[in-house]
Amino acid sequence: MSNPDVIVVGAGLAGLACARALVASRVKVLLLEGGDAPGGRVRTDGHEGFLLDRGFQVYLTAYPEGRRSLDHGALGLRRFTPGAKVWRGGRLHTVADPLRRPGMALSHLFGEPGTFGDKLRVLELRQLSVSGELEDVWHRPQRASLRYLRELGFTDEMLEGFLRPFFAGIFLERELDTSSRFLEFVFRMFATGDTTVPERGMGAIPEQLAAGLPSGTLRMRSPVGEVWGHRVRLADGETIGAKAVVVATDPASAVGLLPGMLAPRMNRVTCLYFAAPEPPVTGPWLVLNGEGRGVVNNVAVMSEVSPAYAPSGQSLVSVSVLGEWLDTAALEARVREELSGWFGTAVSAWRHLRTYVIPRALPSQLPEALEPPRRPVRLSPGLYVCGDHRDNASIDGALGSGRRAAEAVLFDLGR
C-alpha cells in the first residue's frame, strides 16, 4: 500500500482492533506484522489434526470490548461448565457456580474444598465484583489478591484447595500478588458471562478481526526494525512514511522500538499438549490442582469443550505449568508422573504432541501496574502505542487499548 494515513505495527489483538476502528472511519491503514499470521500471543496451530492454542486460553463472553468488536455467533463459541473439578485428597471434587448450577452446587455445599462458610464467602466475592458499574472496579482501593481474599475470611483450605490454583491459572503467578482490582474484574467477567473457546481454537478471534479489513491492509512477514517520527524502517531496509504510527507489538518489542518506554514485568507459563485415547475427565471442565504441591496447575480436555480440537476418536489434553521450563523432556516426565496419580495408568498411553514455553505470556498486574488503571496511548503527536500492557492484561484489555489508540489518532487527525 502506498501513502497510508496510519501505519500500525503488529497484528495482535490490539493492532487489529486499532486498524479496524481506523478503517471504520475511512482512514487508510497499513498493518505490518512480522509473523506469518495475525494474532500475536493468541494463535492456534494445526498439528496432526489437533488444534493447539499457544498456551491455554479462554474467551469470556462478558468482555465489553469483545461484545463491541466480535461476532460471537460466527466464532461458534463452546462453553466450559461454570465451576471446576479440583484434585484434592486423592480424588476429584466438584465446585459449581451456585447461581447457574444450583442443583450441582447444592450436592457439594458441605464438601471439600472449603467450609460451608467459604461457600457463602464466594457469593460475597461475587456480589462485590458485580456491584456498581464496571468502571468502578478499576478505581477501588487495591491490594494484593491474596491479602484481599484473606480479608474476606476465606480459610486456608479454600485458598489452597481452590482459589489459589483458580486465580493462578488466570494471573500466571502463584503468589497472588496481582491487584485485587484485576481479581474483581475477571471474577465479574466469569460471573456474568460464559467461559468459552471458539469452536476452531482461540486463533479464530484474530482471524475474524483480520477478515474485516480491506484487501491490502494487512501485510505479513514484514518485521519492523525501527520507528522514528512518522516513519518505519522494515528489517529489509524498506522505509514507509505516514501521518501517524501506532506501535501495537508485544511489550518487549515495543520497548525496542520506542526508546524510553519502560518494559512491564511479564508472567510466564508452560503448556503441554497430549493426545489421549480416552478423555481423563468427561465434560467441559477445568480441572485444578488443589493439593498445594506439584508442578501442574490446571488441566483441560479441550476436545470435551469443542470436539473440533481433536480428530475423531481421540482426546486433546492441555496441561498448564506456571513458569518457564526449559528442560521440556524432564517436565513432561514429571507431569506424566503427577497426572498418573490423578488419572491412573492410562496416562502412560498419552502421546505427547507439543510443549509451548511462553516466557512473556502476560503483563504482571501488580497493584502499581494498575495505577493508573489505563496508561496513555499517545506518546507524542503522530506516535502512539497500544496493547494489553497499556490497559489490563486480558483479551478485553488488548482490544480496548487498540480502540483507545485509534480514537487518539482520529482526534489528532481531525476526524
Q: How many CB atoms lie within 10 A of CB 81?
A: 19
Measure the CA–CA gap between 168 and 69, rounded to whole angstroms: 28
Report the pLDDT value the prediction gives residue 106, as an integer from 0 to 100: 43
Percent of the chain clearing pLDDT 90 (strictly above): 91
Measure the CA–CA gap between 361 and 166, rounded to whole angstroms: 17
Task: Look over the chain and give the mean of its residue pLDDT values, rounded to a whole number.
Answer: 94
Q: How many CB atoms lie within 10 A of CB 67?
A: 12
pLDDT score of 103 more than 60? no
Asked whether the bond before 372 is cis by omega within 30 degrees of 0, the reply is: yes
pLDDT in tens, 38-75: 999 999 999 999 999 999 999 999 999 999 999 999 99
210-215 average pLDDT score: 96
Work out the widest C-alpha separation in the chain, in whole angstroms. Answer: 66
Radius of gyration, CA atoms only, the chain: 22
Question: CB within 8 A of 321, min separation 6: which ones?
Answer: 269, 270, 271, 272, 295, 296, 297, 331, 335
Q: Do 196 and 58 meet the contact criterion of CB atoms below 8 Å apart?
A: yes
pLDDT score of 104 more than 60? no
- Look-up of cell digits 466480535: 70
pLDDT band at residue 210 under the 50/70/90 scheme:
very high
Measure the CA–CA gap between 96 and 21, rounded to whole angstroms: 39
Q: Do 314 and 47 meet the contact criterion of CB atoms below 8 Å apart?
A: no
